[in-house]
Amino acid sequence: MTRRLTAALFLCASLSTAGDFPRNLNAFPGSSPKIDGVLSSGEWGDATQFYGVKDWIPQFTPTTKSKDLALHGFVKHDGKRLYFAFDITDDVLYGIDTPRWLPDDHPKAHDLTREGFPWFGDEMELLINASNKWTGAAQAAGNGFSWQMVCNLTKSRLGGVGKGGLLEGEPRKDPRAWDTYREWIETGAQQAAVKVKPGGKGYVIEWAVSFDPCLEVEPGRFYSPAMGSRPMGLNIALGDLDEKETGAGNFGNFHHEDWWTGAKEVRTQLRHWGTLWIMSENSPPPASLSKPIKRSRK
């Protein structure tokens, strides 16, 4: 199996990491995919692949069955944009297979304002700390240095309630972060497309992140391959609403919310994230990355 097809990597603590959690992904240079929510033949063949979510960290009810919730992920870059794809298995799609119910304590969950919950629904969250810096319990700042964005299956900034796509993530209560995220969505600095899979038992997300302005490694300086291979903090979340009763006792009646790294209640703190290595053809990966440890799929 080539280096581009390895599973998510566990590396020794001596490596330079962008978070304290010992889980890593490599994004190698590859072709530019079409962001349309369709995994076309060969489109992601040059990407690193990873899997979840039974071995991820549950915030709510643990996922124990792959037919209930699972994903096959892909990551790569083309020198200007970072690309993720998620092929998600989900046996019950909120707002499609179920009514569009709301949590009892949060009737504004679907408002597309700072009072709403962008992550309420079936959704993915992408969190990147491009600066590779943090202190204490710091969370995403909501700018090019560190951010947390949402792709929801059934609502979006550009399409409104009923059409899936990108939404402003956390810290949404900060108007500066909210405005930055909204600008990224409206200008195409970040793009995502989501489509229900044929047969309806899941959905596909394709997501593009422009290096400039979304991966700011130093003030006014954005990542480029000329900088060589570089580590950044990374976390990924998969949220799953089913019937309201399946999430009884959980916040908002969420059934599942599984995180690539971290621990319950603190998974959004930068120090609890893993590491995304953006690999450059202009410099080889660190020697200790050249022989990755393969993680078996569960």
Specify the residue for token string 């408002």.
111
Judge whether 16 lies within some domain: no
In tens, the pLDDT along 53-106 reads 999 999 999 999 999 999 999 999 999 999 999 999 999 999 999 999 999 999
Phi, psi of 50 (to 5 degrees): -150, 165
Contact 19, 272 (CB under 8 A): yes
Judge whether 54 lies within some domain: yes
Judge whether 57 lies within some domain: yes
Query: How many domains does one find in the chain?
Result: 1
State how far the Cα of 146 lies from the Cα of 169, in Å rounded to an integer.
12
Judge whether 17 lies within some domain: no
Which of 51, 53, 40, 39 has the alpha carbon at shortest distance from 122? Answer: 53
State how far the Cα of 230 lies from the Cα of 37, in Å rounded to an integer.
28
Phi, psi of 95 (to 5 degrees): 80, -5
pLDDT at 263 over 90: yes
CA angle 60, 61, 64 (to 5 degrees): 135
Longest CA pairwise span in the chain (Å): 54
In tens, the pLDDT along 147-200 reads 999 999 999 999 999 999 999 999 999 999 999 999 999 999 999 999 999 999
- SS3 for 240? strand
What's the pLDDT band for 19 if we cut at 50, 70, 90? Answer: confident
pLDDT at 138 over 80: yes
Q: Report the CATH number that the domain containing residue 137 is assigned in CATH.
A: 2.60.40.1190
Supply the pLDDT for residue 89: 98
- SS3 for 177? helix
In which domain, by residue range, is 47 found?
25-98+116-282
Rounded to the nearest integer, the mean pLDDT of the chain is 90
Judge whether 256 lies within some domain: yes
